[in-house]
Amino acid sequence: MKHVTTIIIGAGQAGLAMSKQLTDRSIDHVLLERGAVANSWKTERWNSLRLLTPNWQSRLPGYRYTGNDPDGFMDMKQVVSFLDGYASTIAAPVEHHTKVLSVERRFDSYVIKTTRGIWSCASLVLANGACAVPVIPKCASAMPETIQHVSPLDYKSPDQLPQGGVLVVGASATGVQLAREIHQSSRPVTLSVGEHIRLPRIYRGHDIKWWMDALGLLDMGLDEVEDLSRARKLSSLQLIGSDNGTMLDINHLRSLGVDIAGRLAGINNGKAQFSGSLSNICDLADLKMGRLLDSIDEYATQYMADQQLPPPHRYAPTDFGAPPNLQMALNDGRINTVVWATGFRPDYSWLDLPVLDRKGNLNHTGGIVDAPGLYALGLPFMRTRKSTLIDGVGDDAAYLADHLRAGLHRRAA
């Protein structure tokens, strides 16, 4: 058994940011990585995906984007190369192709069995990714057997899907992006729409992420939101990283010919049943977007020479067309594929520690898990709204590294 003070599971942006913080504090550590650096970005993302955040926002402790296109959006190759560059810059001690099989507590250490030997450590950082396992609704099991199921982790491009109609379930970032490119591949898409967050990509001349950053929304912390568990469950923003500023909302998808249906409510006798609540779902999204644009306009008036900006603008309400169908046959050959863009969760299946709640979520306070020397990184709204962003994980890592070091000192004392 090999021993090291601290082990980081995962060598993506979160693990690397923590590695940098530990190196800066002279804490010996290794990163256990099931594949190579940035593995999820490399192997579990679709071909056309670009980051939702502009390049200038790719900032990590001691490292940032320095190319000549700060307002562009990295594709996956660029993300991998960006993180590879970070790993070499900080000389991260990564153990590649080392998959964690189990983690248990033995006396005052964590014992980690991997495909390449056993490790023990005093403190452990779970930086293994918030999007490791697709969350698929229970009703999926009632799908007719002829339907092919695709998760966004396996999806690469429309070519891999059978010809014919596709039901895309979920209208957050993943759902709207996949709905568009699949529909444009001559596979007619029906998009099942649940609660979502509608936003323009560019507003009054600035990227929406620029505004959110300027307004301090991304820095909002645990004490600043009324309902933290709700903030942690919010779906991703309905955005696409694209150079032409497309607003990839329901109105845009409809203009391309995508059929819009309500939230998938059940599957019975070979038919998908959709909720009749679509009108309210769209109202909620429109009202929420209106409140954000109001705050942006207030900010512009107060802090910017807003006469020099393009004028305030309000977008047409979401129009999902004629009263949408409440059910759709899944056994008449018109739909051959369902894409589950219904969210993700972290994988803790190998974690033999009593730190999960009854829903399988990690019990933690701002990344400090309810077990000695155990930390998490990169979870939704872990410490701030940007905790899941490349731009947010650095601050979280710095805070947790201080806490981790203090814990090590207490052990030594």
Partner 1 sequence: MTNQTQTETVNNGVNVEALLGAREALEATPAAAQFKWRAECTWKDGTHSQTTINNFFGLGEEQERGRTFTIDADHPEQFAAANLGATPVEIVMSALASCLTGGVASVAQHRGIQLNSVTASVEGDMDLQGILGIDSKVRNGFDAIRVNFQIDADASDADIKALVAQSQKRSAVFDIITNPTNVFVNVN
Beta strands in 280-399 (DSSP E): 327-329, 335-340, 344-345, 364-365, 368-369, 374-376
CA dihedral sign, ordered 398, 400, 401, 406: positive
Distances 352 to 16, 35, 192 between C-alpha atoms, Å: 24, 22, 37
C-beta of 159 vs 227, nearer to partner 1: 227
Smallest distance, Å, CB 262 to partner 1?
8
Smallest distance, Å, CB 268 to partner 1?
7
C-beta of 157 vs 279, nearer to partner 1: 279
What DSSP element (H or E) covers 95? Answer: strand 94-95
Return d(Cα 364, Cα 382) in angstroms, integer: 9
Closest CA to 407 of 107, 30, 27: 27
Smallest distance, Å, CB 242 to partner 1?
29
C-beta of 98 vs 190, nearer to partner 1: 190
Smallest distance, Å, CB 64 to partner 1?
37
Closest CA to 78 of 213, 199, 241, 218: 241
Closest CA to 365 of 380, 346, 382: 382
Smallest distance, Å, CB 279 to partner 1?
9
Smallest distance, Å, CB 345 to partner 1?
19
What DSSP element (H or E) covers 75? Answer: none
What residues have CB less than 8 Å from 67, skipping those under 6 apart?
Answer: 55
C-beta of 69 vs 283, nearer to partner 1: 283
Which residues of the shown chain bind partner 1 in the complex (CB under 8 A)? 262, 265-266, 268, 273, 275-277, 280, 283-284, 287, 290-291, 294, 323, 358
C-beta of 138 vs 358, nearer to partner 1: 358
C-beta of 120 vs 327, nearer to partner 1: 327
